[in-house]
């Protein structure tokens, strides 16, 4: 039984295709940990995966509140690009002490290669879908 890390952009376009793949892997006995946003918690847990949520401010497709009310809110994507270590550190903290045999993510997932290198995941699989 392998331990698999799924990294997903929090959008229907990214989650739905790899959710089916995660479900198939679980049915074959794999242990799946799946990162996404809270809106996908129920379907991820329904297939038997361990759900991990991005911090709300790190959801890359939603606007964020700013502390300075004079500035317009930055989108999560802009913040993730301007402050990548904040995004990456959140994931690493939540996965501290866990080991994975490989990771599954879409080609567009930001920082997947960095995250898998930092977690010392020996094999990384990219998923291409239409």
**Tens digits of per-residue pLDDT, 86-126?**
889 989 999 999 999 999 987 778 788 899 999 999 755 55
> Dihedrals φ, ψ of 3, to 5°?
-105, 125
Sheet holding 102-105, edge to edge: 50-53, 31-36, 3-7, 102-105, 123-126
Confidence of residue 55 (pLDDT cuts 50, 70, 90): confident
What are the pLDDT digits (tens) for 11-41? Answer: 777 788 899 999 999 999 999 999 988 989 9
pLDDT at 92: 94
Scored b (16 or more CB within 10 A) or e, 56-67 reads: ebbbbeeebeee
CA distances for 14 relative to 22, 28, 65, 67, 93, angstroms? 13, 22, 24, 30, 23
The Cβ-side half-sphere exposure at 18, using a 13 Å CA radius, reads 30
Check whether 129 has a pLDDT greater than 70: no
Tokens of 65: 């509140």
Where does 3-126 sit in CATH, by number? 3.40.50.2000
pLDDT at 19: 93
Neighbour tally for 105: CB within 10 Å: 24
Check whether 64 has a pLDDT greater than 70: no
Please state, in angstroms and rounded to a whole number, the distance separating the CA atoms of residues 78 and 74: 6
The Cβ-side half-sphere exposure at 22, using a 13 Å CA radius, reads 31
Query: What are the sequence ranges of the domains in the chain?
Result: 3-126
């Amino acid at each position: 039984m392998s331990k698999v890390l799924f990294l997903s952009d929090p959008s229907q376009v990214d989650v739905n295709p790899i959710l089916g793949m995660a479900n198939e892997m679980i049915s074959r006995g794999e242990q799946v940990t799946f990162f996404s946003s809270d809106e996908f918690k129920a379907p991820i847990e329904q297939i038997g995966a361990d759900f991990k949520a991005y911090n709300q401010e790190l959801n890359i497709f939603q606007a964020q509140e700013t502390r300075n009310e004079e500035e317009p809110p930055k989108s999560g994507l802009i913040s993730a690009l301007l402050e990548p270590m904040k995004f990456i550190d959140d994931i690493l903290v939540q996965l501290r002490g866990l080991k994975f045999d490989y990771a599954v993510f879409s080609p567009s997932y930001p920082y997947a290669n960095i995250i898998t290198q930092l977690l010392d995941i020996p094999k990384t699989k990219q998923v291409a879908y239409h």
